[in-house]
Amino acid sequence: MARTAKDTSRAKEGPARSSVCPLGEAEAHGILQVLDREGNVSGTLPDPGLDEATLVRLYEMLVLVRAIDERGFKLQRSGRVEFWIPHRGLEAVHVAATLAFADSDWIFLGYRHPGCMLLRGVPLLQMFAQFFGREGDPLKGRRLPTLMGDRRVNIVPMTTQVGSYIPHAAGAAWAARLRGDDTRFLVFFGDGSTSRGEFHSALNFSGVHRPPIVFLCENNGWAVSTPTSTQTATRTFAEKGDAYAIRNRRVDGNDPLAVYSVVKEAYDLCASEGPSLIEAVTYRMGLHTTSDDPDLYRDRSDVAEWEQWDPLPRTRKYLEARGFWDEAREAALWERVRAEIAEAVTAAEALPFPAPETMFDDTFETPTWLLEEQKRRLLDELEPRE
C-alpha cells in the first residue's frame, strides 16, 4: 500500500499509537466477552459450559502453539528456518474457533494458525517438516514456513496474497449447499484483507446465496504497519456485514471461551440462516514477520497494555478457579511440550528435501507435454557427469 503524505509525516515524528485496548470496556465497544482480565466469568456472555477435558485440551493447545512460536522464532534467527510469522497473543482465536467446528468441516487457513492443524490430528513432525521444507510436508516444501494446510484433514492452505482465497471459501460452502450435505466452512483472514475486493465479493455472494460459512476476521490492530485507523472508516469490521445482510458479531479475541461461544452460535446457525461475519478483537504482540520491526510504526506502551489481556494467563486463572489446573500441571505441561517440539525439530531437520522433480507435480491431473519436457530437462541437468 502506498504511503500518504500523512503517513510519511507520522513516520518522521515516531511510532504511531493505535487505539487504546478496548477489552477493559468490552461492552461499551460492542465486544462480546466471558472472562475479565483475571479470568473471572463477568462478561456479557455466559460461560459456555465446556467440560473439564475440553477446557484442558483448549489450554494445552494454547500453550503448545505459544511454545511452537517461541522455538520457530529462534530457528529463524539462528538461520535454520528461512522465515517465520510470529503469532504470540493470537492463539485463542484460531484454537477456540476450530474447537467449535466438527473435524468433517472445512477450514480455509490463515498464516498464524498451527493450532487448527494440531487439533485435527496433524503430528508435530509433519508441521516441522513443513517449516523446514522437507519430505513429509504434504505441500512438498513449496510454501513459506507457517503457510500450512493438508486436505487430508480438510484444511486449505492460506496464500501469501491475503484475502484472495475468501471467495473460494464462499464458493466451496455454496457447493456443499447445492449437494445437500451438512458440511460447514470456516475462513480466517486479517483486518487488512477487508480492504481487498475479494472480501466484498465473497460477502456479497454469501448474502445472496446464504452458504453455510463463518467469516472470521482476526483484527490484530495492524495490517503489517497500517493501523486500523487508516484501514477503514467504519467503527468496526464486523458491521461491514450489514451492507450484505450478513449477521455479524464482535468478540474478545483474547478470550477463548467468548470466541468459542460466538463461533459455535454461528456454526449452529449455518444450516438454517447461512453466513456470519465475526470480528475477533485481538492484538499482535510481536513482529508481523521476522522481516519486520514494529518499533518503527507503533508505540511499545500499546503492547504492554495488551499483554495484560494475554489469553494464556486468563485461561489458566479460569481453570485454576475451576479446580482443573495448578502450578505442578503448568510446569509439567511446558516441560512436555518443549521436549516434544525439540524431538520434532531434530527429526524434521534430518529428513531429506523433496526431490527436485516434484515441483512439476500437482499442477494438472494429467501432466502436459510441456511439463514433462521441462522435468526431463531438469533430470538431465541433475544427472551426475563423468
CA distances from 35 to 31, 157, 166, 170, 281 (A): 12, 31, 30, 32, 14
Residue type, 149: G
Residue with cell 477493559: 24
Output Rg (C-alpha) for the chain, integer angstroms: 22
Query: Can you tell me the distance from the alpha carbon of 144 to that of 155, in angstroms, rounded to the nearest whole number?
Result: 16
User: C-alpha cell of 39?
Assistant: 479470568
209 as an active site residue: the answer is no
Residue whose C-alpha is closest to residue 119's, from 74, 87, 150: 150
108 within 8 A of 169, measured Cβ to Cβ? yes
Catalytic residue among 260, 267, 283, 297: 297
288 as an active site residue: the answer is yes
Query: Can you tell me the distance from the alpha carbon of 42 to that of 131, in angstroms, rounded to the nearest whole number?
Result: 40
Question: What's the start-to-end Cα distance of the chain, in Å?
Answer: 52
184 as an active site residue: the answer is no
Catalytic residue among 142, 209, 288, 329: 288
Catalytic residue among 112, 249, 250, 284: 284
Q: Specify the DSSP class assigned to residue 88.
A: T
Query: Can you tell me the distance from the alpha carbon of 104 to that of 117, in angstroms, rounded to the nearest whole number?
Result: 13
Query: Can you tell me the distance from the alpha carbon of 216 to that of 97, in angstroms, rounded to the nearest whole number?
Result: 9
Other Cβ atoms less than 10 A from the Cβ of 208: the count is 12
| Cα 182 versus chain centre, distance | 24
Residue with cell 477489552: 23
> Measured on CA atoms in the order 102, 266, 151, 82, is the torsion positive or negative?
negative
DSSP-based three-state secondary structure for 17: coil
116 within 8 A of 68, measured Cβ to Cβ? no
Q: Could you tell me where the DSSP H helices lie in the chain?
A: 5-13, 52-77, 91-100, 114-119, 124-132, 166-179, 197-209, 256-273, 300-307, 311-322, 327-349, 369-382
Residue type, 323: G
Residues with a known catalytic role: 284, 288, 297
